[in-house]
Structure 1
Amino acid sequence: MISLFHAKTLLVVGIGACVPLALAGLPMSFQRDAAPAVVASETVRLAPENFHYRVAGEFTREGRPVNAPMLDRRNKKPLAIMKAQVTEAEFDRCVHDGGCRPIGLRGKARADMPVVGVSWEDASAYARWLSAKTGQVWRLPTDEEWVFAAGSRAKDDALDVDSTDISQRWLAKYEEESSRERLSDRGPRPVGGFGANERGLLDLSGNVWEWTDSCFTRQTLDAGDRVIGEGTVNCGVRVIQGAHRGYTTSFIRDARGGGCSMGVPPDYLGFRLVREEGSWLANMTSRLRRPFEWTS
């Protein structure tokens, strides 16, 4: 006769022996190879330099529009920014991984074409996804960082007219925007189609505008170009950069359909990202400073 102790022992051993056999009979769909690591786009690391920066936003003096202040700036640390705009294939991987919303690509996503038709929210989602996949901190550049990276390709949106004569100013603005429409190239080009600037970055100021992380601001200036009061900061509208600076609602994917808040709408909206360098705490502190990223 088998004792109670031996019976329990046999039962445990029997169950243990059956478990592998039972599992062997189950479909093993849950066993899958780890997905290959995501490799981010090539970046260019720009050393700190002195540069001129005209502040983004709308500025008035005594109720009349005036040019924004031009500041002498210098980066406090190197800037690591993507050499090219994010491509269709790169963004499509985020979509298939569940990190980004589909954007309705026509045909197969191409590795040599910049992704367009993306909102600020889409670009930010991609940055979060890429950060999670790579273990690095990726984000959209500020307008000031974009201008620095663009170098000679950054366009100064000041008007060389008498700012006290509002009729001349608006006429100059109309002529400038009409010229932009005439010169517009209506089709996106493959990566590198607009060449590189002196810093080695591709396709800056081409016909694909790029989202920045900067919010639209309205400020009033005194006679010395100092800001009066706190002004207005609207982060529902973001600064975009390309052949000219613009301002577009953050959820808009195609500004030609009416989402451009000011000026001539961009032909296409894309983006490139900045990779943060330094500690996590320093990166978070830097982000908390935005959108108040300039001082006179």
Structure 2
Amino acid sequence: MTPHAETAGVSGISIALPLALLAVLSAALAIEAGFVNIGRRNGAFAAPEVVAIAPHEFQYRDATEYFRNGLAVDAPKRTAHVRMPLTIMRYQTSLSEYDSCVADGVCPEPEGRSPISGEDMPVTGVSYEDALRYANWLSQKTGEHWQLPTDFELAYAAADRFPDDALGIDADSKNPALRWLADYEREARRTASSDPAPQPKGSFGVSQTGLVDFGGNIWEWTSTCNKRIDLEKEAVIDEPDPADCGIMIAAGRHRAPMSTFVRNPKGGGCSVGSPPDNLGFRLVRRPNFVESIEDFTRRAVADMIGSANFRGVQRDDDEG
């Protein structure tokens, strides 16, 4: 690298580091003055084990029902570029973890409690509202911000384990029988579950990102509201306010739009297709204010160093 390149790199770092220090110092002063409340962790309470999903690119289809000319069509696939890491529970919420919330009088008893209990068993028989109660309770216990993931975030975290629900029928096909037949075959495969009974954690493998048991026989609640889009009219047919949405997406071997009050999916409440075997959940942990500032400054410094090095290489090429 030439002296010009070295100067560019040093200049970028010299600008970025003071900005990083200023951002962190400002955050510390805001917390000390009481302007920002990041919560106080209960040191005696063990938070769930998490995995940090590194930023990566992946293929994603929206959790949306698309229609054209009155016929259902596959949601378009797009390439998503994610720059921020995601902190998510490595395992689904366990029965013993959920029971602590029940013992505090915050969460209701799960429906159809498994005869097998213990730390290794995931909780099932819980509704969307139950999962929200647990997330709020856990946030208070840990002083951290926990909530249900969106469908997009769960797809981002599950990576190779997340299903592609596409039927693979040409969207321009005028023959509805092709889609009906493909849909029938898909639903037949979905209903052929070998063992719907909940299993101890670790029974269904690990994704390439480190997420355990996704895509087994427990579908996981998300905070994504089910909606329908008419591609012909380029308009949303049905998109309720998320605060009032009564149908949320549960994701597992396939996506299942579920009524928010349902605990036992086999008893009804699945608005489309085959119901899940079981309903459970895992949560994401949102960064607090200081963590957000620290991540911002880390990325800012890395970007500036990368930019400075790139400019240095360009200058070398020009001078060469």
Q: Higher relative contact order at CA 8 Å, sep ≥6: structure 1 or structure 2? A: 2
Whole-Å separation in 1 of the counterparts to 2:270 and 2:94? 23
- Give the drift of 1:231: 3.5
Partner of 1:16: none
Whole-Å separation in 2 of the counterparts to 1:119 and 1:250? 6
Q: Tell me the SS of whatever aligns to 2:137.
A: helix
Partner of 1:77: 84
Q: TM-score, normalised by structure 1?
A: 0.78
Q: 2:47 aligns with which of 37, 40, 49?
A: 40
**Structure-to-structure mapping, 1:1-296, within 5 angstroms:** 37-104=44-111, 105-106=113-114, 109-163=117-171, 164=173, 165-222=175-232, 228-234=234-240, 235-279=245-289
Contact 1:120 1:211 in 2 (8 A): yes
Aligned pair count reads 243
Whole-Å separation in 2 of the counterparts to 1:120 and 1:127? 11
Contact 2:202 2:212 in 1 (8 A): yes
Q: Tell me the SS of whatever aligns to 2:139.
A: helix
Residues 108, 167 of structure 1: alpha-carbon distance in 2 compared, 3 angstrom cutoff:
closer
- Give the drift of 1:108: 7.3
Where in structure 1 are there 5+ consecutive unaligned residues? Answer: 1-34, 283-296
Which deviates further from its counterpart, 169-178 or 184-193? Answer: 184-193
Partner of 2:318: none
- Give the drift of 1:107: 5.1
Whole-Å separation in 1 of the counterparts to 2:43 and 2:104? 12
Q: Which has the higher helix share?
A: 2
Contact 1:157 1:244 in 2 (8 A): yes
Q: Tell me the SS of whatever aligns to 1:261.
A: coil
Identity %: 45
- Residue type at the aligned position of 2:122: P
Contact 1:81 1:275 in 2 (8 A): yes
- Give the drift of 1:161: 2.0
Contact 1:52 1:71 in 2 (8 A): yes
Q: TM-score, normalised by structure 2?
A: 0.72
Where in structure 2 are there 5+ consecutive unaligned residues? Answer: 1-41, 293-320
RMSD: 1.8
Whole-Å separation in 2 of the counterparts to 1:193 and 1:187? 12
Contact 1:37 1:134 in 2 (8 A): no
Q: Which of structure 1's runs of 4+ aligned residues deviate more than 3 A?
A: 106-109
Contact 1:162 1:169 in 2 (8 A): no
Q: Tell me the SS of whatever aligns to 2:246.
A: strand
- Give the drift of 1:201: 1.1
Question: For 1:232-279, what per-residue CA distance to the aligned partner results, in whole angstroms no more than 9, with x for missing partners?
Answer: 224210001111111100110011111111110000000000000142
Whole-Å separation in 1 of the counterparts to 2:114 and 2:197? 14
- Residue type at the aligned position of 2:238: T
Question: For 1:138-187, what per-residue CA distance to the aligned partner results, in whole angstroms no more than 9, with x for missing partners?
Answer: 00010001111111111100011234321110111111111121244222
Residues 184, 221 of structure 1: alpha-carbon distance in 2 compared, 3 angstrom cutoff:
farther
Q: Tell me the SS of whatever aligns to 1:73.
A: strand
Q: Tell me the SS of whatever aligns to 1:102.
A: coil
Question: For 1:186-239, what per-residue CA distance to the aligned partner results, in whole angstroms no more than 9, with x for missing partners?
Answer: 2211000111111111101000110011000011114xxxx8134422421000
Contact 2:145 2:288 in 1 (8 A): no
Whole-Å separation in 1 of the counterparts to 2:81 and 2:208? 18
Whole-Å separation in 2 of the counterparts to 1:84 and 1:106? 18
- Residue type at the aligned position of 2:60: Y
Q: Tell me the SS of whatever aligns to 1:182.
A: coil
- Give the drift of 1:106: 4.7
- Residue type at the aligned position of 1:148: Y
